[in-house]
Chains A and B, each alone.
Chain A
């Protein structure tokens, strides 16, 4: 297991190298180069621009810049934000817990909702409930996240006035736990939609396969009550591929979080990324892009590892 983890992590290194190279090359493709943020500001003269480019090392060959940037990046020096004039890494780390909170809440909600629904649909295959759930899953798969967010704001904030439509708490006040939870509700609901339909369909399909196996037929022959059969014998086996699929979908929550954070003014990394993109703040952009890629790679690894954990028959080596 440890050997497997080490080998998989080592495999991620060239992947990350390729990703940072792509991001870096893309930066060079900006019309005006990475210092474009300073161009067009009225009190920045051509001499200032040259000085800035020299300070940032932008007058050196691209390859040299890349090596220098990468060396610093690995050492934790992610550059200074052009806009906030603070280390990019600090800015990102400040916001990261908020994003993780939102992702964690939404992912948990999706799982908690999809397990009973998926089970119900599988056990009552082709019933009215199953067909309804099929239709709802299709609806869920096709709803744009940002539109759902806006509709929830319209319903719960504008019309019913029961839930706040943005932020993490009332501005300027240290909020207590119930207030914080109230602010978390709408963003979590919106974000959980990202995969709940898919999770439900997946668990249903997986459970239907399990229900058709000989050992499930045998549990019935033994006279075990249905409830126990479904939960103890059925779900446990159906959950094996389900867990993997959930892990594989973690990046979708990161991406969805970006959209949700911009709608609900949630101060997370996604919103920071968007703000930085609008302002050409590229040290921050690069940092978050790489963190995002690490999340993708880690969730792939997690999916593989979890597969081995929940199913002892699978050996990872």
Chain B
């Protein structure tokens, strides 16, 4: 499953990057003579209301959607790791303050915040990267903080401290590498959720603006034509779906690889199950991936191999 996901993902990635070479059409120039054509050999996904080849636009949109997904996740991981590391290492009031900040950030329904911010700041590529990363860092911060707290008292950290290693060296060289595996899983699934966030915003008209295309904005156009050209709505959505499910499979595979013990950690007392449920409260957002994420960090695994 994970391997299949990886192959699909690589295909989508390659197609998106090589799009301009593969496709003889231009993604933005209108060709009014070829408006709203059904899928044919010349246009495998048909054409849109301005006569542009949908496949070309899907590939161009893929570049934008994947780039935003990857960049936003990178920024979110950076913020999350920094906040989590500082909170977990410093402890006391710093920890308290940062974790209350996380609480506040988690209490805002994120799609609402995204719409709010996008409408106010004006939608653009960079705005999207920034606002999506600003609603996606909390989970990582909690994961990093939790493992810093758990590792801080271990012998190898104590010995590093004893030989006079600086706090920065302990945090960066000893604590962080040992905290990374849940972060990598969360990061992988985070790309899927960032892509969903981007396409939702673009679908609502508050993301990527015409003439540039993204999978979400193509679906927005498709909705306007849904009674005359229903096929327009099929392919962009299919691409979002394939990308997200592929990433979810890869993330699931990574989790298995990193953590064969899986749910065992959370077993034991009911209290610990509850603690796990609430401590790693998943980020809330429109896309269904939030559930996948919460499975990843909190609950029983999607695929329990026990």
Stretch at the interface among B13-21, B52-60, B242-250: B242-250
Interface size class for chain A?
A: 35 or more
Contacts A248-B277, A292-B108 given; does A151 touch B117 at CB 8 Å: no
Would you list which residues of chain B between 82 and 126 have a CB under 8 Å from chain A? Answer: 100-101, 103-104, 106-113, 115-122
Do A141 and B292 touch (CB < 8 A)? yes
B82 CB → nearest A CB, Å = 19
For residue B206, CB closer than 8 A to chain A, the reply is yes
Flag if B120 contacts A255 (CB, 8 Å): no
The reply on A296 being an interface residue by CB < 8 A is: yes
Q: Are A138 and B249 in contact (CB under 8 A)?
A: yes
In the complex the two chains form, is B233's CB within 8 Å of A147's CB? yes
Kindly state the separation between the CA atoms of A197 and B288 in the bound complex, as whole angstroms. 9
B303 and A142: CB pair below 8 A? no
From known contacts A31-B122, A138-B245, A150-B219, infer whether A256 and B103 are also in contact, taking CB-CB under 8 Å: no
B302 interfacial contact with A, CB 8 Å: yes
Cα A274 to Cα B207 in complex, Å, equals 13
Docked complex Cα distance between A261 and B139 (Å): 28
**Contact assessment for B104 and A22 in the assembled complex, using a CB-CB cutoff below 8 Å:** yes
A13 within 8 A of B: no
B188 within 8 A of A: no
Nearest B residue to A280 via CB reads B119
| Contacting pair B288 A142 (CB below 8 A) | yes
Q: Which residue of B lies closest to A144 (CB)?
A: B240
A142 touches B270 (CB 8 A): no
Partner of A296, one of B196, B204, B284, B288: B284
Count CB-based A-B contacts (< 8 Å): 205
Binary CB contact string for chain A from 154 to 197 against chain B (1 if under 8 A, 0 otherwise):
10001100000100000000000000000000000000011101
- A56 beta carbon closer than 8 Å to chain B: no
Give bound CA distance, A106 to B216, whole Å: 24
A278 adjacent to chain B (CB < 8 Å): yes
The reply to whether the CB of B230 lies closer than 8 angstroms to some CB of chain A is yes
A15 near B: Cβ within 8 Å? yes
Q: Contacts A138-B249, A145-B286; is A255 near B116 (CB within 8 Å)?
A: no
- Chain B residues within 8 Å of A259, by CB: 111, 200, 203-204, 286
Shortest CB distance A294–B (Å): 9
A255 touching B100, Cβ below 8 Å: no
B146 CB within 8 Å of chain A: no
In angstroms, Cα B117 to Cα A26, docked, is: 7
Which A-chain residue is minimally distant from B302 (CB atoms)?
A201
Complex Cα distance A145/B197, Å?
11
Q: Judge whether B288 and A205 touch: CB under 8 Å.
A: no
Residue from A165, A202, A273 within 8 A of B300 (CB atoms) = A202
B286 A256 Cβ-Cβ under 8 A:
yes
A77 at the interface (CB under 8 A from B): no
B107, B118, B285, most chain A CB atoms within 10 A: B107
The reply to whether B241 and A19 contact each other, CB–CB distance below 8 Å, is no
Closest CB-CB distance, B102 to chain A, in whole Å? Answer: 11
Contact residues in B for A248 (Cβ distance below 8 Å): 277, 281
| CB of B32 within 8 Å of the partner chain | no
Q: Is B30 an interface residue (CB 8 A)?
A: no
Known contacts being A23-B116, A138-B302, A296-B107, is A146 close to B288, with CB within 8 Å? no
Are B192 and A142 in contact, with the CB atoms below 8 A? yes
User: Which of A1-9, A84-92, A218-226, A307-315 is near enough to bind chain B?
Assistant: A307-315
**A311, B274: Cα distance in complex, Å:** 12
Residues of A close to B273: CB separation below 8 A:
241
B187 at the interface (CB under 8 A from A): no
Contacts of A249 in B (CB 8 A): 291
Chain B nearest CB, measured from A154 CB (Å): 4
Kindly list 4 other residue pairs between chains A and B, CB separation below 8 angstroms, not including A142-B288, A252-B291, A258-B286: A145-B288, A249-B291, A289-B113, A293-B107
Q: Could you jot down 9 A-B contacts, CB within 8 Å?
A: A19-B107, A134-B303, A141-B292, A145-B200, A145-B286, A165-B226, A202-B295, A209-B300, A297-B107
The 9 closest A-B pairs by CB, nearest first: A205-B300, A147-B237, A198-B291, A142-B245, A277-B119, A18-B104, A292-B109, A142-B244, A154-B230
